[in-house]
Structure 1
Amino acid sequence: MDQPGKQPYSDTIWDEVETWSRDRIEAFQLQALKRQLARVGERSNHYRRVFAECGFRAGDLRSFADLRRLPFTRKSDYVAGLEAEPPFGSLAAVKPGEAVRVHFSSGTTARPAPVLWSGADIERWADLYARYLYAQGLRRGDVFQCMFNYAWFVGGLGATLAAQHVGALVIPASSGDTERQIDTIFQYGSQCVIGTPSFMAHVAEAAAKLGRDLTKSKVKMVCVGGEPGGSIPGTRERLEAQWGAPMFDCYGALECQPIAWDTAAKIGPTLAEDFIYVEVVHPETHEPVADGERGVLVITHLDKEACPLVRWWTGDVVVRDTRPAADGRTHARLAGGVLGRADDMLIIKGVNLFPTAVEDIVRAFPGLTNEYVLVIDDSVKDPKTNFLTGVKLRVERESGAPADVGERLAQRLREKLQVRFHVEVLEPGTLPRTVHKAKRVLHA
Structure 2
Amino acid sequence: MKQQERQPFSETIWDERETWSRDRIEASQLDALRRQLERVGRTSSHYRKVFAEVGFEPGDLKSFADLRRLPFTRKADYVAGLEAQPPFGALAAVEPGEAVRVHFSSGTTARPAPVLWTQADIERWADLYARYLYAQGLRRGDIFQCMFNYAWFVGGLGATLAAQHLGALVIPASSGDTERQIETIFQYGSQCVIGTPSFMAHMAEAAEKLGRDLTTSRVKMVCVGGEPGASIPGTRERIERQWGAKMFDCYGALECQPIGWDTAAQLGPTLAEDFIYVEVLHPDTREPVADGERGVLVLTHLDKEACPLVRWWTGDMVVRDSRTAPDGRTHARLAGGVLGRADDMLIIRGVNLFPSAVEDIVRAFPGLSNEYLLVLDDSVKDPHTGFLTGVKLRVERAAGAPADLGERLSQRLREKLQVRFHVEVVESGTLPRTIHKATRVVHA
* Residue 87 (1) aligns with residue 87 (2): yes
What is the DSSP-based 3-state SS (H/G/I as helix, E as strand, rest coil) of the residue aligned with 1:260? strand
- State the alpha-carbon separation in 2 of the partners of residues 371 and 3 from structure 1: 46
> In the alignment, what sits opposite 2:230?
230
What is the DSSP-based 3-state SS (H/G/I as helix, E as strand, rest coil) of the residue aligned with 2:97? coil
> In the alignment, what sits opposite 1:197?
197
Contact 1:4 1:165 in 2 (8 A): no
Q: Which amino acid aligns with 1:443?
A: H
Listed as ranges, the matches of 1:157-172 within 5 Å are: 157-172=157-172
Contact 1:410 1:421 in 2 (8 A): yes
> In the alignment, what sits opposite 1:180?
180
What is the DSSP-based 3-state SS (H/G/I as helix, E as strand, rest coil) of the residue aligned with 1:387? coil
Shift of 1:268: 1.1
Residue by residue over 1:204-250, the C-alpha shift from the partner in whole angstroms, topping out at 9 and shown as x without a partner, is 00000000000000000000000011100000000000000000000
- State the alpha-carbon separation in 2 of the partners of residues 443 and 153 from structure 1: 25
> In the alignment, what sits opposite 1:269?
269
Identical aligned pairs, as a percentage?
86
- State the alpha-carbon separation in 1 of the partners of residues 287 and 301 from structure 2: 20
Stretches of 4+ moved more than 4 A in 1?
Answer: none
> In the alignment, what sits opposite 1:20?
20
* Residue 239 (1) aligns with residue 245 (2): no
What is the DSSP-based 3-state SS (H/G/I as helix, E as strand, rest coil) of the residue aligned with 2:347? strand
> In the alignment, what sits opposite 1:134?
134
Shift of 1:3: 6.3
> In the alignment, what sits opposite 1:384?
384
- State the alpha-carbon separation in 2 of the partners of residues 239 and 227 from structure 1: 15
- State the alpha-carbon separation in 1 of the partners of residues 372 and 106 from structure 2: 22
* Residue 300 (1) aligns with residue 300 (2): yes
> In the alignment, what sits opposite 2:46?
46
Listed as ranges, the matches of 1:37-436 within 5 Å are: 37-436=37-436
- State the alpha-carbon separation in 1 of the partners of residues 3 and 212 from structure 2: 36
Q: Which amino acid aligns with 1:70?
A: L
Shift of 1:96: 3.0
> In the alignment, what sits opposite 1:9?
9
- State the alpha-carbon separation in 2 of the partners of residues 230 and 82 from structure 1: 34
> In the alignment, what sits opposite 1:34?
34
Shift of 1:4: 5.5
Residue by residue over 1:238-270, the C-alpha shift from the partner in whole angstroms, topping out at 9 and shown as x without a partner, is 000000000000000000010010000111110
- State the alpha-carbon separation in 1 of the partners of residues 309 and 96 from structure 2: 19
Contact 1:4 1:167 in 2 (8 A): no
Contact 1:189 1:217 in 2 (8 A): yes
What is the DSSP-based 3-state SS (H/G/I as helix, E as strand, rest coil) of the residue aligned with 2:180? helix
What is the DSSP-based 3-state SS (H/G/I as helix, E as strand, rest coil) of the residue aligned with 2:400? coil
**TM-score of the two chains, using structure 1 as the length reference:** 0.99
- State the alpha-carbon separation in 1 of the partners of residues 167 and 347 from structure 2: 48
- State the alpha-carbon separation in 2 of the partners of residues 421 and 48 from structure 1: 50
Contact 1:3 1:165 in 2 (8 A): no
- State the alpha-carbon separation in 1 of the partners of residues 308 and 3 from structure 2: 25
- State the alpha-carbon separation in 1 of the partners of residues 96 and 406 from structure 2: 58
Residue by residue over 1:170-211, the C-alpha shift from the partner in whole angstroms, topping out at 9 and shown as x without a partner, is 000000000000000000000000000000000000000000
What is the DSSP-based 3-state SS (H/G/I as helix, E as strand, rest coil) of the residue aligned with 2:103? strand
- CA RMSD in angstroms, aligned pairs only: 0.8
> In the alignment, what sits opposite 1:442?
442
Shift of 1:6: 1.2
- State the alpha-carbon separation in 2 of the partners of residues 65 and 245 from structure 1: 43
**TM-score of the two chains, using structure 2 as the length reference:** 0.99
Residue by residue over 1:284-332, the C-alpha shift from the partner in whole angstroms, topping out at 9 and shown as x without a partner, is 1000000000000000000000000000000000000110011010000
Shift of 1:109: 1.7
Residue by residue over 1:131-168, the C-alpha shift from the partner in whole angstroms, topping out at 9 and shown as x without a partner, is 00000000000000000000000000000000001100
- State the alpha-carbon separation in 1 of the partners of residues 296 and 379 from structure 2: 31
Q: Which runs of 5+ in 2 are unaligned?
A: none
What is the DSSP-based 3-state SS (H/G/I as helix, E as strand, rest coil) of the residue aligned with 1:127? helix
Q: Which amino acid aligns with 1:94?
A: V
Q: After alignment, is 172-181 or 79-88 more displaced?
A: 79-88
What is the DSSP-based 3-state SS (H/G/I as helix, E as strand, rest coil) of the residue aligned with 2:222? strand
What is the DSSP-based 3-state SS (H/G/I as helix, E as strand, rest coil) of the residue aligned with 1:97? helix
Contact 1:3 1:166 in 2 (8 A): no
Q: Which runs of 5+ in 1 are unaligned?
A: none
- State the alpha-carbon separation in 1 of the partners of residues 404 and 179 from structure 2: 33
Q: Which amino acid aligns with 2:398?
A: E
- State the alpha-carbon separation in 2 of the partners of residues 102 and 345 from structure 1: 32
- State the alpha-carbon separation in 2 of the partners of residues 202 and 300 from structure 1: 35
